[in-house]
Amino acid sequence: MDNCIFCKIANGEIPSATLYEDGDFRVILDLGPASKGHALILPKTHAANLYELPDELAAKAMVLAKKMGAKLSGALGSDGLNVVQNNGKAAGQTVFHFHIHLIPRNQGDGVGVSWTPGKLTDEVKEEILSKIHA
């Protein structure tokens, strides 16, 4: 993708604060961090979102999230970690090159990775189950 900023960052054409790099991925610090240490896992090949990401890279990305999450949390002494991955504008995706957010968390930090829980009704449950199992 010629005009994709994350392609350019992942492949080193644009400099970034790189925490880790291998043949498939670059892990960088987010320029607009939700918390101290907020990092992004970027594949070096372009995929707009999770659905476009080849299975092999999807699997490797989750293993890398585990490794880098542990390393970040250990280095920063964080209490917790959110692993966030947005697909589509409606879900908050703003850069359309697949990425995983690693967001170190601390007790009472007020970082807003949350929602107000609703209630799963029998009607909605049945609707979804019938559509998925159709």
Residues forming the site for ligand AMP (CB under 6 A): 5, 28, 30-32, 40, 86, 92-95
| 14 is a contact residue toward Zn ion (CB under 5 A) | no
Nearer to ligand AMP, 10 or 60 (CB): 10
| 97 is a contact residue toward Zn ion (CB under 5 A) | yes
Question: Rounded to whole angstroms, how far apart are CA atoms 102 and 128?
Answer: 30
Site string for Zn ion, 51-90 (x = CB under 5 A): ----------------------------------------
CB environment 65-81: b (16+ within 10 A), e (fewer): beebbeebbeeeebeeb
- State the nearest-atom distance from the C-beta of 51 to ligand AMP, in Å: 15
Which DSSP category does 71 fall into?
Answer: H
Catalytic residue among 38, 46, 97, 99: 99
| 1 is a contact residue toward Zn ion (CB under 5 A) | yes
| 7 is a contact residue toward Zn ion (CB under 5 A) | yes
Evaluate whether 92 touches 101 at the Cβ level (below 8 Å). no
- State the nearest-atom distance from the C-beta of 1 to Zn ion, in Å: 4
- E runs forming strands in 1-133: 18-21, 25-29, 39-43, 80-84, 100-105
